Homo-oligomer: A and B are copies of this chain.
Amino acid sequence: MVDKLLLAPGSAPDPLVLAQAVARGMLDKDRAAQGLGVQILDVQAGGAVLSMRVRADMTNGHQTCHGGYIFALADTAFAYACNSYNIKTVAAACTVDFLAPALEGEVLIAEAREQTLSGRTGIYDVRVHTNEKTIALFRGKSHRIGGHVVDI
């Protein structure tokens, strides 16, 4: 990864390459996402697509995936999307609508897309779905706190 980011003096990194380097750098340090088994399917400037398989230990008393884990997947996709410019950014607020239950063994896909970014504030929408159904819609508001996410 470092090799890909070796830059000629004064040149700016390619936004796509940068976004991918940031996401991999974040996942390397993100014990929470690692513990969830989150996989990165795609990353670009302002966007991220992640997957997570619902394990037995993610189910709740209703025998379906605990909302907290659906949220955690969506929130992680949001984090990778809003940090993709390599400026440290945190979640200020999130809303989530749960539309269908997710069952043990199902693979959930979370697709995060930037809706707006102005100054230090951005809005990102995340759709969590399986191949057949939409599980949840998530909207996150981000706040840039500054500093780099990864060294380049």
Interface of A toward B, CB cutoff 8 Å? 25-33, 35-36, 56-62, 66-69, 71-73, 75-76, 79, 88, 90-101, 115-116, 118, 121, 123, 125, 127, 134, 137, 139, 141, 149
Is there contact, CB below 8 Å, between B90 and A118? no
A interface SS class: mixed
User: Across the two chains, which residue of chain B brings its CB closest to A97?
Assistant: B93
Of A31, A67, A116, A127, the most chain B CB neighbours within 10 A belong to A67
Residue of B32, B92, B94, B149 near A66 (CB, 8 A) is: B32
Is there contact, CB below 8 Å, between B94 and A90? no
Q: Which residues of B contact A137 (CB under 8 A)?
A: 115-116, 123, 139
Is A72 a contact partner of B71 (Cβ separation < 8 A)? Answer: yes
A68→B115 CA distance, assembly (Å): 21
Q: How far is the CA of A35 from the CA of B56 in the complex (A)?
A: 11
Which residues of B sit under 8 angstroms from A100, Cβ to Cβ? 118
With A29-B61, A94-B95, A116-B99 as given contacts, are A72 and B79 in contact (CB-CB < 8 Å)? no
> Which residues on the B side are within 8 Å of A141 (C-beta)?
93, 97
CB distance from A121 to the nearest CB of B (A): 7
